[in-house]
Structure 1
Amino acid sequence: MAPSLEVEEPLPDPIDFSAPLKQAPKLVAPEPEHCPGPESNLAGTADSCAGCPNQAICASAPKGPDPDIPLITARLADVKHKILVLSGKGGVGKSTFSTMLAHGFAGLDGLENPVGLMDTDICGPSIPKMMGVEDESIHVSAAGWSPVWVTNNLAVMSVQFMLPNRDDAVIWRGPKKNGLIKTFLKDVEWGELDYLVVDTPPGTSDEHLSVNSYLKEAGVDGAVLVTTPQEVSLLDVRREVDFCRKAGIRILGIVENMSGFVCPNKKCGYVSQIFRASTGGAKRLAEDEGIPYLGAVPLDPMIGMACDFGESFLDAYPDSPASKAIRQVVERVVKTVGGS
């Protein structure tokens, strides 16, 4: 059990995974303007390819869709709703928010099937620690890889379960990371799920493109964007909004995390502003971009303590303003995706 934080008391060898079946060719120069793309049927033969140093590479590269996409689609056919959690930058509490979102879904009344949480932050897997299962390992059966069960209706998958030591660094290039993400989607026996929450690393790069391309046929309900109130965070979230629109990912809404600080004294309950919204915060950004605003989640010191001890903050501190805010976000997301 996490210790109390009331003000009157003192505070207390990597595994080698095979690369994907199809890899994009390694280009020797950046793609030129009007490039059809190295996996296009016109790659190496289009008019814009003339004179490109990559022309021979692209002409000989495999064409067409990835052959594993139908397998992924079949594997995830029993997952009703697939939700991405994105942020433009690190440090906004995205993984912490993902764990609370998963716990929130798992605690819904009338839930028919379990909830899954997939950690695609390959180089910084923190989900197992927050869920209290960092010492678990993956079991392989004839049906595929079995996820680690946190409770009887909440399962987790992360690269952390495959490392010999929890402090081992994952030093992989893009194709290696993309291959593992594909394996998570293709070989993990999730079974029937009401919700699959996919926690992604910060940014708009390889992992995000891979998840989107692999899940496109299986169907992604959309993405929840996480930011903090200050403008330096909103700058990167605007890029994430642009990424979602270019990639064809529906934006379910934006959440303003660490929006105020909850006093640790139970008798107080006052919420003070630490990261002040100098330009209007996430609510103003949502209005400007025409995307839903899902709410503001204040910073409660017990959130960090609950994550350190692998506990559900929503269950341990249900009356916290942060717990109430998370539940409101969950309700709005459920309503948006048409869940029960």
Structure 2
Amino acid sequence: MSQRALAALAGVIDPELRRPITELDMVGPIQETEDSVSVQIKLTIVGCPAAQSIERDVNEALAAVFKNVEVEMSTMTNDERKALTLKLRGDKPPKFNPFADKDNLTRVIFVSSGKGGVGKSTLTVNLAVALAGLGQKVGLLDADIFGYSVPQLIGVNQSPTQVENLMLPPIAHDVKVISIGFFVKDNQPVAWRGPMLHRAVEQFLTDVFWGDLDFLLVDLPPGTGDVAISLGQLLSKAKTLVVTTPQHTAAIVAERSGAIGLQTGQEILGVIENMSYLPSENGPIEIFGSGGGDAVAARLTEISGKQVQLMGKIPISQDLRISADNQLPIVVSDPADPAAVEITRIAKLLMDSPRGLAGKSLKITPS
């Protein structure tokens, strides 16, 4: 009889899989008396990065019920790992892209820009963390294969855990993260052509256990190259968020990143103007000019035939740059900073944006 122990262990959540260890078949033999308990916990792999936190949480959960607690940490067998991956995939086959499923309710958002240097990746990371802070389940896919920077910006120094043919993405600030940067040593450049790029981004969708997400943010590479086209085909239900600066030249280029999404079937969700102005006691200083965000929104409205709104103007912030260099998103390090406040406001707008449910199963059984 081990009902008390199992009830206590049901509150222990695997930090990578975000499910109770009792549901993941990670609990082995239990010996329980009135005052004492001994239990075996089976980790997914040898050297599991979550081992210490799981062992600590197990001890704390059992110590609240029993006076004497003994925990043995072990590892799943090959058969147990295979059974776990089957359970995680549900009834879906290997190499399955969950976001292409017609019943998937995850909001997939491409964050794009016409050129580099407009702060797209920093903005994407902070939007993802802001959404997670607002209670959303968020994934972040760094699709900028050549210019990957998301691991540094969000502060992840842990590689994905491999369980059989399934990758468990690292989690930072409650955001699941995947990037080619996890697989490249010593900041080596990636010199790949079209087919290899397509295969890489496809694997990020099919071989990663994303779980149940409210949002998947995709940091696209700047421009309109192979990766943007491949992802447009693989994630046809995504919507595009275009990032520009106020400068007229940058705005002209930014139009193209929104237009390429229209060609592969993505709706345009909105435009964000980054580095919009420098706050000062005498009012905003428009270092990079003005009107770029409005011009992009107007032009994309004309091209798409649907109203495209300018969702926000993010001010220039020295602390935003410092937080990025320190690998800590500013929405965490200084949520009162004007840039952080505006990013969080935009995140709330994303949450409030209409979700297309036509043709989707809501998995509700009539009574």
Q: What TM-score does the superposition give when structure 1 sets the normalisation length? A: 0.71
**Of the two structures, which has the highest relative contact order with CA contacts closer than 8 Å and spacing of 6 or more?**
1
Residue 183 of structure 2 aligns to which amino acid in structure 1?
Answer: M
1:75·1:185 contact (CA, 8 Å) conserved in 2?
no
Residue 129 of structure 2 aligns to which amino acid in structure 1?
Answer: H
Please point out which of 158, 162, 179 is paired with 1:140: 162
Larger Rg: 2
1:186: how far off? 0.6
Residue 167 of structure 2 aligns to which amino acid in structure 1?
Answer: W
Alignment pair present for 1:176 and 2:187? no
2:250·2:292 contact (CA, 8 Å) conserved in 1?
no
Shift of the 320–269 alpha-carbon distance from structure 1 to 2, 3 Å rule, reads farther
**Structure-1 residue corresponding to 2:96:** 71
Residue 335 of structure 1 aligns to which amino acid in structure 2?
Answer: D
**Structure-1 residue corresponding to 2:220:** 200
User: How far apart, CA to CA, are the structure 2 residues paired with 1:192 and 1:289?
Assistant: 32
Shift of the 74–242 alpha-carbon distance from structure 1 to 2, 3 Å rule, reads closer
1:103·1:312 contact (CA, 8 Å) conserved in 2?
yes
Please point out which of 185, 191, 203 is paired with 1:164: 185
User: How far apart, CA to CA, are the structure 2 residues paired with 1:74 and 1:142?
Assistant: 21
For structure 2, the 5+ residue unaligned runs are: 1-92, 302-307, 357-367
Residue 287 of structure 2 aligns to which amino acid in structure 1?
Answer: I
Q: How many percent of aligned residue pairs carry the same amino acid?
A: 32
2:95·2:206 contact (CA, 8 Å) conserved in 1?
no
| Deviation digits for residues 92-149 of structure 1 (CA, Å, limit 9, x no counterpart) | 110011011101111114x3xx21100011111100000111x321211036111011
SS in 1 for 2:97: helix
**Structure-2 residue corresponding to 1:188:** 208
* Residues 19-34 of structure 1 mapped to structure 2, 5 A cutoff: none
Residue 228 of structure 1 aligns to which amino acid in structure 2?
Answer: T
User: How far apart, CA to CA, are the structure 1 residues paired with 2:99 and 2:346?
Assistant: 30
SS in 2 for 1:116: strand
Residue 255 of structure 1 aligns to which amino acid in structure 2?
Answer: I
1:89·1:237 contact (CA, 8 Å) conserved in 2?
yes
* Residues 113-262 of structure 1 mapped to structure 2, 5 A cutoff: 114-133=137-156, 135-142=157-164, 144-151=166-173, 153-165=174-186, 167-216=187-236, 219-220=237-238, 222-262=239-279
Shift of the 251–74 alpha-carbon distance from structure 1 to 2, 3 Å rule, reads closer
User: How far apart, CA to CA, are the structure 2 residues paired with 1:82 and 1:171?
Assistant: 27
Alignment pair present for 1:308 and 2:310? no
1:164: how far off? 2.2
For structure 1, the 5+ residue unaligned runs are: 1-67
SS in 1 for 2:206: helix
1:255: how far off? 0.4
Residue 152 of structure 2 aligns to which amino acid in structure 1?
Answer: K
Shift of the 282–145 alpha-carbon distance from structure 1 to 2, 3 Å rule, reads same
1:312: how far off? 2.2
Measured on the aligned residues, the alpha-carbon RMSD in Å equals 2.3
Alignment coverage as a number of residue pairs: 257
1:250: how far off? 0.5
Shift of the 259–245 alpha-carbon distance from structure 1 to 2, 3 Å rule, reads same
Please point out which of 261, 281, 286 is paired with 2:292: 281
Segments ≥4 residues shifted beyond 4 Å: 74-79
1:256·1:282 contact (CA, 8 Å) conserved in 2?
yes
User: How far apart, CA to CA, are the structure 2 residues paired with 1:141 and 1:253?
Assistant: 38
1:177: how far off? 1.3
Residue 197 of structure 1 aligns to which amino acid in structure 2?
Answer: L
Q: What TM-score does the superposition give when structure 2 sets the normalisation length? A: 0.66
User: How far apart, CA to CA, are the structure 1 residues paired with 2:99 and 2:295?
Assistant: 40
User: How far apart, CA to CA, are the structure 1 residues paired with 2:192 and 2:171?
Assistant: 27
**Structure-1 residue corresponding to 2:345:** 328
Shift of the 309–125 alpha-carbon distance from structure 1 to 2, 3 Å rule, reads same
